[in-house]
Amino acid sequence: MSDGRKIIHVDMDAFFAAVEQRNNPELKGKPVVVGGRPDSRGVVSTCSYEARVFGIHSAMPTSEAYRRCPHAIFLSHGNFEEYRKVSKQIREIFHEVTNLVEPLSLDEAYLDVTENKLNEASATRLAEWIRRRILEVTSLTASAGVSYNKSLAKIASDWDKPDGLTVITPDMAESFLTDLPVNKFWGVGPVTAGKMKEAGIHTGGDLRTWPLWKLTEAFGKSGPWYYNLCRGVDNRRVEPTRIRKSLGKERTFGEDVDNLPELSDFLENLCETVWEELKEKQLDGRTLTVKVKYADFQQVTRSRSFYSPLPNLTSFTDTALELLGESEAGSRPVRLVGVSVSSFIGEERPGEAHQLLLDFGNSSIPEQRTNTPKYA
């Protein structure tokens, strides 16, 4: 089950909101929502734990967040310059430990600490040290998960938020996953979790009773992933230079748009912005995707792939408009339209990191005062 890797997943606690509360003492202890205005069509980017008590969460429409907590403090324009500054400080702390750092966003990353700059044998001690350093440098808390692969480390970091540390060792993984609800598995979203529950799959133990062929039949290409996941198998490496999957832009409208020419104008502007960024970053992609979200929040995508990249902005825009025409835009009200490019040419996977035997004990770092992990 384990190939000897030691992986840490670090996730900052309510990062954007926490930075705002740190910089403005008047916000401490109050429900803070970072995202669009309550009267806008935007969505919540993140919110403080005080706001989460009211059921507010990321990606929720800000109008719904306001309905649930009208006395919350809504910050429609977060201070992204400050967020990036703090993120850089955190990234530097990670690199004090290892160069095998895979950022997922401004506020979370995977670290492969199998070999590390501190010559520390205990991944648990390293996670404690990282969390303490982050608190010392930024005055912000982070949660961490420690395990032998990325999926389990991610599950572990979510287990004891905020300001928590959870460790899943190889010998406890099977029992841990047996009782774990399927919606807690990394990569199982609400729709899939609902489908699993309809099929009688409520926990990892239930999932483990399904043979590979049956999972593939029910869940398509994700079947093998779920088959391995419930058995604690995830062979993905920590990738310091992550391959860019796509590049795109989207626009959420203040009011629903049901006029196709108007939507086409918006899409043309987005195409121009994306094309300029592609040229600036010297990226050539072979797949073009248009996303449409209707007023009822139903979302559809239309894609087209080519043997070689589109040669110019005109071809790029014309293709995007054709894809828009394949949707129901114009006959159904639309709240969002977007365009993205993927399948980039010349992107190769980085080399795999050298592996050592896993050791969760025998620390060479002095004892520190930290939260007691649920599993250690």
Angle at 153 between CA 149 and CA 158, to 5 degrees: 155
For residues 176 and 159, the answer to whether their CB atoms sit within 8 Å is no
Specify the amino acid at residue 313: L
CA dist., res. 73 & res. 29, Å (int): 11
Phi/psi region, residue 119 (left: phi>0; alpha: psi -120 to 50; beta: rest), is left
Token pair 């492969």 is at which residue?
112
The secondary structure element, H or E, covering residue 134 is helix 123-138
Options 102, 108, 120, 128, the catalytic residue = 108
Q: Please say if 108 is a catalytic residue.
A: yes
> Quick one: DSSP state of residue 121?
S
Give yes or no for a contact between 24 and 7, defined as CB atoms under 8 angstroms apart: no
Strand partners, 32: 73
295 CB-contact burial (10 Å; exposed 0-12 / middle 13-18 / buried 19+)? middle
At 244, is the secondary structure helix, strand, or coil? coil
Cis previous bond, 162, omega within 30: yes
Q: Which residue numbers are catalytic?
A: 108
